[in-house]
Amino acid sequence: MPEPMGELDRQYSGAGATAPAWSEAEALLRTAELFWISTVRPDGRPHATPLLAVWDDGALHFATGAGERKARNLGRNPEVVLTTAGAGAWDAGYDLAVEGTAVRVTGDGRLRELAAAWAAKYGSEWRFDVRDGCFEHGPGRARVFAVAPRVVLGFGKFTEGEPLGQTRWRFG
C-alpha cells in the first residue's frame, strides 16, 4: 500500500507549516510509550484510559482483560481513538490521534510475534506467554486488539523555529 499523503489543515496551521511525511508520524507511533484509548460505554458516554501499545504491521496493538471496562465497551462498539502526546507539553512535541476499529487478534503465532514486540519495546516486565488466543502474565489473561488506522490526525506545537500545524492522513 502506498504511503498516505498528509493533508495540512490551513485553518489550524501557521504560515509556513508543512505536512510531515507519514513515515515521521509512523516513527512516533512506533516509539511512543504511553497511549490513551477512548471507547464508548453502552449508555453512550465516553470512556478513556491509558495503556501501552505496539505499532506493528500497519496497526496499533493493545491488550486488555476481558472484564475491563474498555473490553466490555469494545464488545458493543469496536470504534476507538488511540492518542499519544509527543512530549506531554502544550509547546513541544507532536501529538497523534489514531481513529479506527479494534479487531481482536487470536492466532497464537501472531500473538507470539506481538508478545516479542512488547518485550522488545517495554522490557522484561511486559513479557507475555501466549495461550488459547490470549496473552498471559502471572495470574491474568488479556485479549489483544489491533487498530489499523482509518484516519490519523497529527498536531504540531508552537516550538522554536517550527510553526503550528494540523495534519490528516487518510487510509483505505
Grade residue 2 by pLDDT with cuts at 50, 70 and 90: confident
The mean pLDDT of the chain is 92
What pLDDT score was predicted for residue 159?
A: 64
| pLDDT tens digits, 29-79 | 999 999 999 999 999 999 999 999 999 999 999 999 999 999 999 999 999
The backbone torsions φ and ψ at residue 23, rounded to the nearest 5 degrees and listed phi first, read -60, -30
Say which residue, 90 or 12, is predicted with more confidence: 12
Say how far apart CA 132 and CA 60 lie, in whole Å: 21
| pLDDT tens digits, 104-134 | 999 999 999 999 999 999 998 899 999 999 9
CB 4 within 8 A of CB 171: yes
What pLDDT score was predicted for residue 161?
A: 64
Domain map of the chain by residue range? 6-170
Name the CATH superfamily, with its identifier, for domain 6-170. Electron Transport, Fmn-binding Protein; Chain A (2.30.110.10)
